[in-house]
Amino acid sequence: MNNSFPRLIDGMCATLRTEVLSRLDDEFARGQVFGVINLLNTFKSRADWSTEFLSQQVSVQSHALEQVRSLIASLPHAPEVATLTTPSVVSPTELLSLRDSANLEINKLLDWLASAKESLPGATALAIESELRKSMRREIEIELKNSPRPLFAEMSSGQENPI
């Protein structure tokens, strides 16, 4: 996800109050909506993103950075590659921060590779790019594997089974 967990909960509660309750007259249905708002607020104070898929993403990035570090170790004027230090117990917030730091590092390496490519041995340049791209691809695959089917048809039509 690209939005924070608490903001999503706040947005859902606000939408239910302003867009749904304001158009809903049935007493029982209104009670159910308030029940949902109550539970959402409970989630906000007790739940967060799963650390499992974030850990997978960070692990992929960490592996890629290690590989690149060893590939460029013997090159003159090679940039320093940061090491991802993962504490034994981490919160989703820390994992998100680690993931973003790793991506910044990958961006820096992509910039360096673009400027240094001509002066690097062809095979080394290819291997570095391949490692970085493998990491990007895996990060995206992990995210997609943990995403439900989007409901754009329903969202744009307001119908359960639009044609």
Partner 1 sequence: MNEELLPVQIEDYLQEQTGHAVQVGPLTRFAVGFSWKTYLVPIAGGLPEAGGASELILRLGPSYGLFAPYSAMPEFLSMRSLESSAIPVPKAYWAGDNTETFGAPFLFCQKVNGAAVVPWVPANTPPLDEAYRKSLGTEFIDALAALHSVDWSNQPIAQMAQGINIENAALNNVLYWEKQIERWAMRPYPAAQWAIRWLKDHCPVAPRVAIIHGDYRTGNFLEENGHITAILDWELVHLGDPHEDIGWVSMPMYMGGSPHFCRLTEPEWFYQRYSEKVGFQVSMASVKYYRAFSLLKLAATHMAAARCFEEGRFNDLRMPAMGSQIATCLRQLEKTIESPL
| Binding residues vs partner 1 (CB under 8 A) | 1-4, 7-8, 10-12, 14-15, 18-19, 96, 99-100, 103-104, 106-107, 110, 114, 132-133, 135-137, 139-141, 143-144, 147, 149-158, 161-163
CB closer to partner 1 out of 56 and 135: 135
Nearer to partner 1 among residue 1 and residue 126 (C-beta): 1
Among residues 3 and 88, whose Cβ is nearest to partner 1? Answer: 3
Cβ of residue 138: shortest distance to partner 1, in angstroms?
11
57 CB contacts (<8 Å, ≥6 apart)? 99, 138, 139, 142, 143
Q: Least Å distance between CB 72 and partner 1?
A: 17
Q: Which is nearer to partner 1, 27 or 80 (CB)?
A: 80
